[in-house]
Structure 1
Amino acid sequence: MDPPGFTASLVAGGVAGASVDLILFPLDTIKTRLQSPQGFNKAGGFRGIYAGVPSAAIGSFPNAAAFFITYEYVKWLVHSESSSCLTPVKHMLAASAAEVVACLIQVPSEVVKQRAQVSVSTRTFKIFSNILREEGIQGLYRGYKSTVLREALWSWRQDHVVDSWQSAVCGAFAGGCAAAVTSPLDVAKTRIMLAKAGSSTARGDVLSALHGVWRSQGLAGLFAGVLPHMTAISLGGFIFLGAYDQTRSLLGGVGRQSP
């Protein structure tokens, strides 16, 4: 892939990601509060629905841009003239590599955002500074493994097709299905990120977190917040892939008109 292609992926991915995160932020807040150990009402209910939005706003563009630039680069790197039956494998490999890179940006933003979502009265910057003071950099990377696993499973079900509307429809359908399947992982991620420092859950063991939820709340706990989760991911897939594909098309058109 040539340099203009990298630039288009960078800008388009960043714009699409930022748009989705900000438009669908209230749904994400509701989902987080439903999944929190203290319960929906004690976590804030419907109050302060935009708590934590500064963290999302700061992290969304570089996170999405990092994903798509890595995704396009790895696809280009492993490109060959071999049978088309290997194409899905190449895309899965590219998506997995992209998630590992993107989560380096996403996880710290997500940790701060989720803690702000369940602590309406505390400012985002104060939460960020408290994490650094009490836990150091590693505190910002709680839930990294569960986030990478969840995101990779989502991204394997998504791909680009020819037209913007096709990309949007495929993204919405694939995202909704993947959100339902990976909902327990999302619950585990939330519990790990919200756990008190020094607790067993805070160590980031995904299976341990899942077992704890199962033991205390059963199946309902593992699928807490699944409806807003599926709705947000479905709408996000529609907006994200549609905006990404359309933005790349527009940038490509501008590039072709340039001398």
Structure 2
Amino acid sequence: MQSSGFVPSLISGACAGFAVDVSLFPLDTIKTRLQSRQGFRKSGGFSGIYKGIGPVVLGSAPGAAMFFVAYDTSKRCLMSSKFMSQHETVSYMISACVAEVVACTVRVPVEVIKQRSQTMANKSSLTILRNTLKHEKFKGLFRGYKSTVLREIPFSLIQFPLWEYAKHSLSKRKGRAVSPWEGAWCGFFSGGFAAAVTTPLDVAKTTIMLAEKRDHAAAGRIFPVLKDIYHRRGAKGLFAGVVPRVMWISIGGFIFLGTYDLVSSCYR
């Protein structure tokens, strides 16, 4: 089946985002509670690990769809240039940056409500949304936008060039296009490596999103937050939740990028 680039990116991205976010939600909850200032047990421990899934179900598909539409469109535009076609890695990195900035306009409000739901056992997602709008107005939904972008851009700068490079190398070695299954394994390893390296940025992002309005972390300045975390908890605090994060994103990379390649293959 042949189609324009927009439609495959939109549908494949939506399917990929929904599949990974819903299937791996419990690991994300555990990771968030490990990073919470309240501590794992006070944040809920292992109870209610699907709490906050409502916003994710509503937001995962459009967020991922926006990411891949922006990523694939940017990549096609850049690769049409003779200079950029000779520097593929740079094209992948720029495309990933553009895609993250665009996707975070959907991802951040979802993440704010989701993470607060995961750590506030006595409040529903709808109550948290109402309270956020009441006390922080609309901008409260974008608390941590800059810190999220600052986390996601380094992550994507690592993951997507590695994923593309791994697929290209595998394709060259086998003398054929890689299968969605093989692309999924490339996503597994590239995602896990990127997740480990960028964990401190994820801890800072979580701290900012969960901070009370009067807390200095609520200002959203990522480097002072990182400094404060290190001062209070040391290097161990900067890598809080690294194991579930790496597990979650490695498996997530497998499902996310594998699903994307699988659905995309239907349009080739």
TM-score (norm 1): 0.93
In structure 2, the partner of 1:249 is 265
In structure 1, the partner of 2:195 is 179
Task: Provide the C-alpha distance between the structure 1 equivalents of 2:228 and 2:138, rounded to a whole number of angstroms.
Answer: 26
Displacement of 1:248 in angstroms is 0.6
In structure 2, the partner of 1:211 is 227
Displacement of 1:208 in angstroms is 1.1
Runs of 4+ with deviation above 4 angstroms: none
Unaligned runs of 5+ in 2: 168-176
Task: Provide the C-alpha distance between the structure 2 equivalents of 1:142 and 1:214, rounded to a whole number of angstroms.
Answer: 22
What CA deviation, in whole Å up to 9, does each residue of 1:37-96 have, x standing for no partner? 000000000000001000111110000000000011111222223375411111111110
Letter in 1 for 2:49: I
In structure 2, the partner of 1:221 is 237
Q: Please give the residue correspondences for 1:160-179 in structure 2 after superposition, counting only pairs within 5 Å.
A: 160=164, 161=167, 162-163=177-178, 164-179=180-195
In structure 2, the partner of 1:14 is 14
- What SS class does the counterpart of residue 37 from structure 1 fall into? coil
Q: Please give the residue correspondences for 1:6-155 in structure 2 after superposition, counting only pairs within 5 Å.
A: 6-78=6-78, 79-82=80-83, 84-155=85-156
Task: Provide the C-alpha distance between the structure 2 equivalents of 1:80 and 1:207, rounded to a whole number of angstroms.
Answer: 37
Task: Provide the C-alpha distance between the structure 1 equivalents of 2:58 and 2:154, rounded to a whole number of angstroms.
Answer: 25
What CA deviation, in whole Å up to 9, does each residue of 1:12-50 have, x standing for no partner? 001001100000000000000000000000000000000
State the aligned residue count.
251
- What SS class does the counterpart of residue 251 from structure 1 fall into? coil
Letter in 2 for 1:20: V
Closer/same/farther in 2, CA of residues 75 and 12 from structure 1, 3 Å limit = same
Task: Provide the C-alpha distance between the structure 1 equivalents of 2:243 and 2:37, rounded to a whole number of angstroms.
Answer: 18
Unaligned runs of 5+ in 1: 253-259
Match of 1:195 among 193, 206, 211: 211
What CA deviation, in whole Å up to 9, does each residue of 1:92-121 have, x standing for no partner? 111100000000000000000000000122
Displacement of 1:153 in angstroms is 1.8
What CA deviation, in whole Å up to 9, does each residue of 1:149-201 have, x standing for no partner? 22122222224433212321111111111111100000000000000013210
TM-score (norm 2): 0.90
Task: Provide the C-alpha distance between the structure 2 equivalents of 1:126 and 1:210, rounded to a whole number of angstroms.
Answer: 30
Per mean C-alpha deviation after superposition, the further-off stretch among 115-124 and 25-34 is 115-124
In structure 2, the partner of 1:257 is none
Letter in 2 for 1:107: V
Task: Provide the C-alpha distance between the structure 2 equivalents of 1:107 and 1:192, rounded to a whole number of angstroms.
Answer: 12
Displacement of 1:251 in angstroms is 3.1
Letter in 1 for 2:95: A
Percent identity for Structure 1 against Structure 2: 49
Alpha carbons 2:84, 2:90 under 8 Å: kept: no
Per mean C-alpha deviation after superposition, the further-off stretch among 74-83 and 182-191 is 74-83
Task: Provide the C-alpha distance between the structure 1 equivalents of 2:209 and 2:94, rounded to a whole number of angstroms.
Answer: 27
